[in-house]
Amino acid sequence: IMALIPESHTPTPSGGPYLANNFRPIEVETTAFDLDVTGHIPEALNGRLLRIGPNPASAPDPARYHWFSGSGMAHGLRLRDGKAEWYRSRYIRDAAVVAALKLPPLGGPGAGLRDGSVNTNFTSFGGKLYAVVEAGSLPVEINYELESVARADFNGALEAGFTGHPKFDPGTGEQHALAYEPGQPVRYISLGQNGRATTKARIDLPHIPLIHDMAFTASFIVIPDLPVTFQPERSEAKFPWLWDERRDARIGLLPRNGDLATIQWFETPRCFVFHFVNAYDDGELTIIDLARHPRMFEHDHNGPNEGAPTLVRWTLDRRSGRLSETVLDDHGNEFPRINDQFGGQPYRFGYTAHWGRDVRFGPAMKHDVMRGTTELHHYGTDRMTLEPIFVRKPDALAEDEGWIMSFVYDAGRNLSDVVILDAQDFAGEPVATIRLPVRVPFGFHGDWIADGDAMAATD
């Protein structure tokens, strides 16, 4: 596992480490065709592997730069009939990109108010594909070739901003989202298959917590209220959410009908959570699996560097109102994914990327939460993966019958690959490795979008 930030690094009020090595932005958009492949790409994989992360279009002030704040860049790999047809990278055209690259302004609502960086994730809605972000800026519609089309408020359904982490519910076909931003209550939003977005609850809190992700069960929406809050007066960087010693840590269960009168709160260990693996109900218990960071944005105001996260299970007893914690894995685990067909339901397998002390990346991990075991896939010396995406095989019967796809950075070559693993032979040799002509900077999230899905219909 390579340390991208030296072993001796201690947090300082500078964003320099998040502008170096593979955090460093790339300077141009790229289009490449007919990519080299080692191994064999499964013919069933027809579609695009997408990824997004921060990539400032102009040189930021290192002292004030925060990894989460840069303008977004979308990366896409198109696979068809066992071939890697193209790779593309394109800026998401926020106001800063438009100004820096002297591009025509992007149309749609929110000009001058909600046209900041969009750099976190993708979602589909009403047959279109969007790049999304939390805390204020509107989603940006993008087309099949990853070009920005327009800012969007889902036909006026969004009261304010959106989220970087909508969650698909296989039981209902809807997406669940928690939205937060200064001056607004926390909003629970449901995006239906009918192409409509509905705010189901507005949760007024005495502070503004950072809520990056959420989880859901068949009965509840999981509301994290953890001690990272809006404190612009204290921030040493262009990111106003910091560790808050004044606040306790708690998590709430909100009935899915949005009835605030019956929300139940549970005290949690003092920590911060970016990502939930999954959650489900078990009688009078609610099970929540997550990556727990010891703290966040306390000493380092420029990035998420407060110690390695641990994969844990929180068991909430709704009768007693108490929470208990069990450690599932302590390798340093982040960017969890599952087979999405098991969202909100009992499940067995989760997949994470290594995230060690000083924001180190490395192998991928497969967690059997039923047996309590972890398998590692080492991609090789100085090769590091981020979010491992599970893609279900056609007509699969077993939960882990699929492929794991991820962008993998090779520090020795200073280039990136896309690596495909067989999820049932996780530690074995890759099924295929696709060589990219550039490196893909460390970023946040992505997805596999099969041709024929609603998202693929966007021209």
> How far is 293 from 423, CA to CA, in rounded Å?
27
Tokens linked to 132:
């999304």
pLDDT band, very low/low/confident/very high, at 228 (cuts 50, 70, 90): very high
| Overall fold of domain 16-457 | Methylamine Dehydrogenase; Chain H (2.130.10)
Sheet strand arrangement including 310-317: 272-282, 285-293, 310-317, 322-329
Q: Where are the alpha helices (DSSP H) in 327-419?
A: none
Q: Indicate if the pLDDT at residue 88 is higher than 80.
A: yes
Tokens linked to 351:
């997949």
pLDDT, residue 358, reads: 85
pLDDT, residue 13, reads: 52
Does an H or E element contain 177, and which? strand 175-179
Mean pLDDT, the chain, as a whole number? 94
pLDDT, residue 428, reads: 98
pLDDT, residue 424, reads: 98
pLDDT, residue 457, reads: 41
* Structure confidence by residue, pLDDT tens digits, 398-446: 999 999 999 999 999 999 999 999 999 999 999 999 999 999 999 999 9
Query: HSE-up of 103 (CA within 13 Å, CB side)?
Result: 17
* Structure confidence by residue, pLDDT tens digits, 275-314: 999 999 999 999 999 999 999 999 999 999 999 999 999 9
pLDDT, residue 459, reads: 40
Sheet strand arrangement including 445-450: 30-33, 83-91, 72-80, 47-54, 445-450
Q: Indicate if the pLDDT at residue 6 is higher than 50.
A: no
Q: How far is CA 74 from CA 50, 53, 122, 147, in A?
A: 7, 7, 9, 9
Query: Percent of the chain at pLDDT above 70?
Result: 96
* Structure confidence by residue, pLDDT tens digits, 10-67: 444 588 999 999 999 999 999 999 999 999 999 999 999 999 999 999 999 999 999 9
> How far is 331 from 313, CA to CA, in rounded Å?
15
CB distance 159 to 189 below 8 Å: no
Q: Where are the alpha helices (DSSP H) in 239-318?
A: none
Q: Where are the domains of the chain?
A: 16-457
> How far is 280 from 274, CA to CA, in rounded Å?
18
Query: Percent of the chain at pLDDT above 90?
Result: 92
Q: Indicate if the pLDDT at residue 184 is higher than 90.
A: yes
* Structure confidence by residue, pLDDT tens digits, 196-223: 899 999 999 999 999 999 999 999 999 9
* CA-based nearest residue to 120, from 274, 294, 16: 274
Q: Indicate if the pLDDT at residue 455 is higher than 80.
A: no
> How far is 408 from 425, CA to CA, in rounded Å?
18
